[in-house]
A and B are shown apart, each in its own frame.
Chain A
């Protein structure tokens, strides 16, 4: 309705003056009038309006409320007018103290915050003595009573001036009055702040958004304006806030909360603190978004964005309150002053926002403002669905974290699995490589089956003539080969083992059989074996005794005899033979033992099975022939089994067996003794003590036989 008058606000000196032409400067808040003329003007307007009914004013606000507002303002305006027209009264009132104490008491009783501050004062500054406290409260009282006395009489701008004067007065007082002499300069500053705070908290309800002003209207106007501008987003403001980032949004929320918190504070400096906090959050947001020092070029748009999104309650009232009643020096300087200035700028920008200031065409701007175009920004959607979105985001974040952890675990498992597989492969590879390095030991040894089969045809013919021909001589003759053969087997295998060319262990067996006459060397070697043999015996016996109780006696006998053999070096050959004669007999008489042989041997080694299967046939021959003949054969088998077990061992744990060849002779031999320990287990089951004997006294006896 003042549209025609407003353009006159610009530039020219004359335009700055009151529109009434009274010579004073006008003010935009007073619609271009000076304060006096504005009041007159308002009065006239009101009267007009009250006659015309309140149609225009009820447009945006509750008409009843605005009516009330108008009335109140009219009253105060009248009062002001009346008071100002009477300079005498004005002076007397500024001379203070005239029936105000009661009001002051009222105020104090009604204000619990003041009591809190009183307690705070005593706790903080009580140490500076009674006088400081008394003087402080004297000043506070003088200030508050003064303001209260003037409250209804003067416009709020005058009150603000009074307040500023009092701040200065108290400042001078603190710095010059002897009461404060002891107080340090920092505490003096604190006292000044506290003075301001105390007074303002006490007077807050009178001075904040006083009824004599139209602050509330302005609040509603700016709120409405901001609501209409809700479509403005960071992009429109050329501001780099990324609205979609969750972290940024959280920071913006913090900033908004700080800004909203301003309304709940009472003292101007507390409100300022909120503004500073808000602005620091904004700086943080910007640092997050752009990464670099935040200059005003980026800061102001961001603050405008935050103000737009926060739409704080009573924004204008708060700003005006701070502007009026905060110590001026604080607003003009310092960080708080700077940020507050920025906030004022932001509000001012929002108030005067046009299409141009958003870099868009007028049409577009109008379309936005009228709601023709609705843009749903990320921010808006977040704001609308605030709670749900927030929760959703949080849950998503949680799920993301969980899934991340799951993948980590899964990766770990996968890796472990791979590692295991790798290890397995590695081991397999090593095993195979080792097997490849030493394959000949194993593979040829598995072929004893054909060898044994070959042996069978060889053997039967040999015993047959022996049995038929002169027993003793031929025995000796025939015995020699098997014994030799046996010895050869043993010695050769050992040699092979010792010579670390184990590969041919098995192969050597066949030559042994074929070439029985190349013995001389072995005899010497066999003597070498003599020393370890006792250990052999012990082991074999130990294993034997528990195995078959029925043959215990026999075994023991054998054992004793063996010892005697050892002790009495001579005439062993005969003893041996006798022994062997003795030992086999029980085994043959009791055919059962053979079955255990099969079973026990089978467990150890499969290749033996055929040989065992063919055994009965051999055994049938055996009764006919001398026991001795059988012995070597059985011995052979047992040897084979023993060797096979060794082979098995090699196969099973090649790595363990590998080092043995490198080891010195004795250790090697102990390895053989291990092997030997297994030898008796088989014969024991078979009931063939021949093998036992051999194992026990194999080397010494045989060697002696050979010698014989």
Chain B
């Protein structure tokens, strides 16, 4: 379902539409629930931490919880309040995911470009989201650890093709170098 919508613009429209029925929008402030999905150790939390706090810790030294984070962004005349729900990536908790993405306006499915398995898992996440989540959900695919491109196992073109086929936003990101991190969040928002 929704596989024909390939343009980001269309998805953005959907996203905006998704905010309204929720009733959480008040004036120019809209709340935006975003769920992070992906295999464990692909860098979900690092990505969010980079986005929210602008920081990256290779050895994760800071002492903040990364499971639930909020970030407010002002865009033109609207204030968007991101609420980012991290999910446990382990296989055994896979079945619990629907509880998290219930009522979410967006989901970022993260995979590790140096690990083909995580990309496979990402595909299953996308499939599941398309089937079970709200039909208006915006799905973004993020190939993380772009800074380790020399160890790349998942080709950019491969992922891009997959994203186009399934109407996903796609970017390769790096929480370490902050590449595309803000862009992917903003793209979802727009």
Among residues 91 to 119 in chain B, which have CB atoms less than 8 Å away from a CB atom of chain A?
92-93, 95-96, 99-100, 102-103
B45 at the interface (CB under 8 A from A): yes
A637 at the interface (CB under 8 A from B): no
Partner of A293, one of B24, B31, B49: B49
B190 at the interface (CB under 8 A from A): no
Neighbouring A residues of B96 by C-beta, 8 Å: 300, 345, 348-349
Of the listed residues B57, B62, B65, B95, the one surrounded by the most CB atoms of chain A closer than 10 A to its CB is B65
Neighbouring A residues of B162 by C-beta, 8 Å: none
A293–B63 CB distance below 8 A: yes
B103–A333 CB distance below 8 A: yes
A87 at the interface (CB under 8 A from B): no
Interface string of B154-181 (1 = CB under 8 A from A): 0000000000000000000000000000
Which interface class (under 10, 10 to 19, 20 to 34, 35 or more) fits A? 20 to 34
Taken together as a complex, chains A and B put the C-alpha atoms of A362 and B65 apart, in Å, by 35
Neighbouring B residues of A335 by C-beta, 8 Å: 68
B67–A299 CB distance below 8 A: yes
- Report if A338-B99 is in contact (Cβ < 8 Å); known contacts: A292-B57, A293-B60, A295-B67: no
A585 at the interface (CB under 8 A from B): no
B23–A293 CB distance below 8 A: no
A287 at the interface (CB under 8 A from B): yes
Give, as a whole number of angstroms, the nearest-CB distance from A436 to chain B. Answer: 61
Considering the complex, give the chain A residue whose CB is closest to the CB of B61: A292
* Among listed B9-17, B80-88, B139-147, interface-contacting one: B80-88
Neighbouring B residues of A383 by C-beta, 8 Å: none
- Report if A352-B67 is in contact (Cβ < 8 Å); known contacts: A238-B90, A296-B87, A332-B102: no
A287–B63 CB distance below 8 A: yes
Task: Count A/B pairs, Cβ under 8 Å.
Answer: 98
Neighbouring A residues of B49 by C-beta, 8 Å: 293
Neighbouring B residues of A291 by C-beta, 8 Å: 60-61, 63
Give, as a whole number of angstroms, the nearest-CB distance from B115 to chain A. Answer: 15
A283–B67 CB distance below 8 A: yes
Taken together as a complex, chains A and B put the C-alpha atoms of A300 and B68 apart, in Å, by 12
A348–B99 CB distance below 8 A: yes
A407 at the interface (CB under 8 A from B): no
A333–B99 CB distance below 8 A: no
Partner of A356, one of B57, B86, B92: B92
A470 at the interface (CB under 8 A from B): no
B66 at the interface (CB under 8 A from A): yes
Neighbouring A residues of B66 by C-beta, 8 Å: 293-295
A295–B44 CB distance below 8 A: yes
Partner of B62, one of A292, A345, A359: A292
Give, as a whole number of angstroms, the nearest-CB distance from B15 to chain A. Answer: 16
A529 at the interface (CB under 8 A from B): no
A301 at the interface (CB under 8 A from B): yes
Give, as a whole number of angstroms, the nearest-CB distance from B142 to chain A. Answer: 15
Among residues 41 to 72 in chain B, which have CB atoms less than 8 Å away from a CB atom of chain A?
41, 44-45, 49, 57, 59-68
Report, nearest first, the 10 A-B pairs whose CB atoms are least far apart.
A292-B60, A295-B45, A296-B86, A293-B66, A332-B103, A300-B88, A345-B96, A338-B68, A283-B65, A357-B92
6 new A-B contacts, CB < 8 A, other than A332-B103, A338-B83, are A280-B65, A293-B57, A294-B67, A297-B86, A301-B88, A335-B68
Q: List 14 contacting pairs A-B, 8 Å CB cutoff, sorted by A.
A: A280-B65, A292-B59, A294-B65, A296-B87, A297-B86, A297-B88, A297-B89, A332-B22, A333-B31, A333-B83, A339-B68, A341-B99, A349-B93, A359-B92
List residues of chain B with CB under 8 Å of any chain A CB: 22-24, 31, 33, 36, 40-41, 44-45, 49, 57, 59-68, 83, 85-90, 92-93, 95-96, 99-100, 102-103
